[in-house]
Amino acid sequence: MMKEWADNKGMKLLLLGGTADGRILAERLHQHNISVIYSVAGLVRVPTVECNVVSGGFTQFGGLECFIKQNKIDAILDVTHPYAEKMSTKAINVAKVCRIPYWRFHRKEWQPQAGDNWVLLNNWDEALSFLSTKQSILLTAGQLNQSFIDSLYELSIAQLSDLSPEIQPRQLLRTAVKPKAMLPPTMEWIKAIGPFTYGDELALMEYYNVDVLVTKNSGGDSTIAKLAAARDLDILVLMLKRPELPSATQVFYSRDECEQFVLGVCNAL
């Protein structure tokens, strides 16, 4: 149950979160007395923030459009994960129907550094040819679909005939929540929530003799240490490109810039 609005004046903002950036922006805007509803899927943890929080999606309210109309939302600020394509697309379409602005904050993409060995992927199927010769795969790309995981298992089975008996192909899947897909016997689940340090990432890759890292270009500082560790260990990185999202009314890559813009709009009301 959400709390009643403390102030019916000014802008009512729906902030779609689930990231550290979303939580920080929700807290900052709330401190400026902006009426903020912070929405989070709640799969990992529900954040402790002073503003109203909606956990578990909008189906419970009859859908996003109904929620916006019932709560008289004036604008949407999308601070979801850069790969939350479904949610972002839904939000911008609903914003158009409701005739309210849709703003998006996305942290900047990681850029390859000197010494990196990156291969950019358009989809996960493109990764399979690079993984067919790898013996220890570290997957840090969130929830993976069953089809891709099944393909990885087939690759590991095919490798058995080419490897000596004492060598077994290994696949490590690190996620914050339990995988939705059924994992094969060759895949080990590592439950972990960032931020991760360089030392921890280096120790993990060395312990498991990782020879390829599979990840998404999430950006930010929370999980960037794995890229530095892979660079120093000369490990191949398969990097999934970000999805192309529909155009937003405004796009921000800096939290400060985003915050100042929202405050400016509110002050102009």
d(CA 228, CA 230) in angstroms, rounded, equals: 5
What the block records as the tokens of 60 is: 């419970």
pLDDT of residue 79: 95
The 3-state DSSP class for residue 201 equals helix
| pLDDT tens, position by position, 155-176 | 888 776 555 445 556 899 999 8
- Rounded to 10°, the helix 255-267/20-31 angle is 30
| pLDDT tens, position by position, 29-74 | 989 988 999 998 765 556 667 778 888 888 888 999 999 999 999 9
Band of the pLDDT at 3, cuts 50, 70, 90? very low
d(CA 234, CA 181) in angstroms, rounded, equals: 30
| pLDDT tens, position by position, 127-152 | 999 998 888 999 999 889 899 999 98
User: Of the candidates 212, 207, 214, 76, which has an alpha carbon nearest to the alpha carbon of residue 140?
Assistant: 214
For residue 184, the number of C-alpha atoms closer than 13 Å in the C-beta half-sphere is: 18
Tell me the mean pLDDT in the region 8-17: 80
> What are the residues whose beta carbons fall under 8 Å from the beta carbon of 26, sequence distance 6 or more?
15, 17, 36, 38, 47, 49, 51
Reported pTM: 0.83
